[in-house]
């Protein structure tokens, strides 16, 4: 009897550990999402308000365009947060929806930030599972947010592709006046890529800073 009970108990313990590990992984993912989708946009709005206050303190009163820009940014971020919450509630497949979602976000970002964004992808689209689609979208949002906050770029590009059994994502921005951005490690993007079994790297090539993400399918 004991020979039957002991293996069963070990299996129960193993399942419990796996469930705990899965829950911890999900908590970390949600924490990254909250950081990228909620906290960072508020930091951007805070910086924008600080710039308006500084302009007013210096006697400038032409702030209507700045206020309008902040309103547009806040509207974009609210829509993004709503989409994120809908994604948490949804259990339906979103296969094939990554590219349209990225294109819509890029268009809104371009309008709000004044940075022209080009999205490049295969003609037959990108078909990935729900988790990879959600993570890839967050990487794009984080990458564009980094460009807006840390560079003086006027152009950016997003590339989504399949290569054999790998998903490839590139986020690039130009360097105006040949002034390259300071080297950095996009922590959130790197963590997301590693959680999916892949990796991320940053390179400066031909006057551009490029973040490359590679994830096995």
Q: Tell me the pLDDT of the chain (217 aa) as tens digits.
A: 545 554 555 655 655 565 566 556 667 777 777 766 667 777 777 888 888 888 888 887 788 888 888 888 777 777 777 766 666 555 444 445 788 888 888 888 888 788 899 999 976 778 888 888 888 988 998 898 888 888 889 999 999 998 888 999 999 999 776 665 566 778 889 998 998 999 999 998 888 899 999 999 8
Helix (H) or strand (E) holding 205: strand 199-205
pTM metric for this prediction: 0.62
Provide the domain limits for residue 179: 2-216
At 31 the pLDDT is 74
pLDDT at 20: 63
The CATH number of the domain holding residue 202 is 3.30.565.10
pLDDT for the residue numbered 159: 96
The Cα–Cα gap between 176 and 215 comes to: 30
Q: Is 159 helix (H, G, I), strand (E, B) or coil?
A: strand
CA distance 204 to 159: 16
- Per-residue pLDDT at 114: 83
Tokens standing for residue 38: 């909620």
Torsion angles phi and psi, residue 118, rounded to 5: -110, 130
């Amino acid at each position: 009897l004991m020979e039957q009970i002991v293996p069963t108990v070990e299996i129960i313990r193993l399942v419990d550990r796996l469930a705990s590990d899965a829950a911890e992984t999900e908590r970390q993912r949600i924490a990254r999402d909250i950081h990228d989708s909620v906290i960072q946009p508020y930091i951007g709005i805070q910086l924008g308000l600080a710039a308006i206050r500084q302009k007013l303190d210096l006697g400038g009163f032409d702030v209507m365009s700045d206020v309008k820009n902040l309103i547009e940014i806040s509207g974009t971020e609210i829509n993004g947060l709503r989409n994120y919450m809908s994604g948490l509630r949804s259990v339906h497949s979103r296969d094939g929806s990554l590219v349209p979602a990225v294109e819509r976000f890029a268009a809104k970002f371009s309008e709000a930030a004044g940075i022209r964004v080009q999205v490049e992808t295969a003609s037959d689209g990108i078909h990935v599972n729900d988790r990879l689609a959600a993570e890839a979208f967050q990487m794009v949002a984080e990458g564009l947010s980094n460009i807006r906050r840390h560079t003086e770029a006027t152009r950016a590009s997003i590339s989504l592709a399949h290569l054999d059994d790998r998903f490839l994502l590139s986020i690039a921005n130009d360097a105006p006046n040949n002034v390259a951005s300071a080297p950095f490690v996009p922590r959130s993007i790197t963590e997301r890529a590693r959680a999916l079994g892949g990796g991320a790297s940053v390179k400066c090539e031909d006057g551009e800073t490029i973040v490359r993400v590679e994830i096995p399918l």
